[in-house]
Every structure is written in structure tokens, then in C-alpha cells.
Amino acid sequence: MKKVWLSWSSGKDSAWTLHQLRQQGNYQVTGLFTTLNQVFDRVAIHAVRRSLLKKQARAAGLPLRLISLPWPCSNAQYEGIMEETWLAAVDSRATVIAFGDLFLNDIREYRVKQLKDTGLEPIFPLWNLSTSALAEEMIDSGVRAKLTCVDPKQLDGGFAGRDFDLSLLAELPPGVDPCGENGEFHSFAYQGPMFHHPLEVRVGEIVKRDGFVFADLV
């Protein structure tokens, strides 16, 4: 089996990617990697605490590589830091890097370019799946997640902190992707078939910062 490192945002899509890879049988996921905002010590964009991220990785039964990014972070800085991750993956005998991207071509092309000449193969197990069907499949399978970040320019900030469930899907306005692939929202997965046990989380303070609405999970 090919050994895989999985890009782990802490959200439902990366969690579901892990589940799918394990179901396929020809891949062995041997590690997760996540970028953290150095200033806030939280998952980049998702704003999940380091402590919750570590508990999540333990529930998934996998080692986690934490990648600290400066804030602000230039693209050159980001790529230089990520080169160290690719080298570490190769040293661990991984040959594949998996991403949970769904349909944004520019992001896919950037990831492929990043991995060129590294000896690592990029794969996208969820690519071009129907996001409405995918969202319902995740929920039906027992995936539970909370929205940790909402872009109020695309979705009402009141959705921050809510559970990603069928009632939420029913309330999403037209034009909002059911999986939030256009950046409408980001999430933290706390239960599902990819975890050995559910995580206990509750919603703390909800704040608006840098144009986004964040729900602090504790």
C-alpha cells in the first residue's frame, strides 16, 4: 500500500478524506499535517485551538505534524516552510500527499505545482463529487462538525457555532455551497467513522475579527 500524509484542516472535508482513504484499501494514511497561525496558535483559517487539534488527531489514531506559520505570511515564506514538510514526508517513506479539496481548480493546480519534483504524488479523493450529495452522505454516516468560521459577506454570521447537520443545510441560502467550498464557512469535525471516539466540544465566545465571524470551541 502507498503511504499517505493527509493535509488536515480539522474540518469535515479532511476528516471525510481520511475515511475514504481508509475505505479504499490501497492507501495507508501514516500522518496528518496542519498549519497553525503563529500569533494565535490556532489552525489557520479554521481558528481551532491547538489543544483540540491534538485531541482530534489522537481520536483519529494518527501522528500529527504541526506547521507554524508567521502572521502575516508571504507566499514565499509559506512555500519555504512547506518544503520542510515535503522533505519530512519523504523521509518517513510516504509517497503520496492527500488533500480534501472539492472543485476549486486554482487551488488544485497550486498544490500540484507545490509538489512537483518532490517525489510525492498529490491526490484529491473527493474531487468533483456533488457537494450537496457529499454533505448529506457525511451527515448520514455520523459525521458531526461545528462551524468555526463564517464569511459574513457570503453567509449570515449567526451560523457560526452551529452544527453541520441537515437543518443547517436546509437553511443555507441559494448560492452557498453545501460544503462551504467557496470559503463561506469552515468547520471542526468532532465525531464520525474516522474517529475512535467522539470529542466533547462546546461553543464559547463568538467574535468578529478581520472580516470573519469566529466561534471559539472549547
Using CA atoms, how far residue 56 sits from 5, 152, 201, in Å, is 16, 27, 11
| Whole-structure pTM value | 0.96
- Which residue is associated with the grid cell 453541520? 164
pLDDT band at 72 (very low <50, low <70, confident <90, very high): confident
Show Cβ contacts of residue 198 under 8 Å, excluding neighbours closer than 6 positions. Answer: 59, 144, 190, 191
pLDDT recorded at residue 39: 86
Q: Which H helix or E strand runs over 154?
A: none
For β-strands 144-150 and 185-191, DSSP reports them as: antiparallel
- Alpha-carbon distance of 108 to 94, in angstroms, equals 20
pLDDT recorded at residue 31: 98
Average pLDDT over residues 101-114: 96
Query: Is CATH 3.40.50.620 the right assignment for the domain spanning 2-123?
Result: yes
pLDDT recorded at residue 44: 87
pLDDT band at 109 (very low <50, low <70, confident <90, very high): very high
Residues 4-33 have pLDDT tens digits of 999 999 999 999 999 999 999 899 999 999
For β-strands 42-43 and 27-37, DSSP reports them as: antiparallel
- Alpha-carbon distance of 63 to 190, in angstroms, equals 17
Q: What percent of the chain has pLDDT over 70?
A: 100
pLDDT band at 38 (very low <50, low <70, confident <90, very high): confident
pLDDT band at 71 (very low <50, low <70, confident <90, very high): confident
Domain boundaries, the chain: 2-123, 142-217
pLDDT band at 40 (very low <50, low <70, confident <90, very high): confident
pLDDT recorded at residue 14: 98
Q: Give the residue with greater pLDDT, 73 vs 96.
A: 96
Q: What percent of the chain has pLDDT over 90?
A: 94
**Residue 106 in 3-state DSSP?**
helix
138 grid coordinates: 457525511
Average pLDDT over residues 205-214: 95
pLDDT recorded at residue 73: 85
pLDDT recorded at residue 186: 98
With a cut of 90, say whether residue 121 has pLDDT above it. Answer: yes
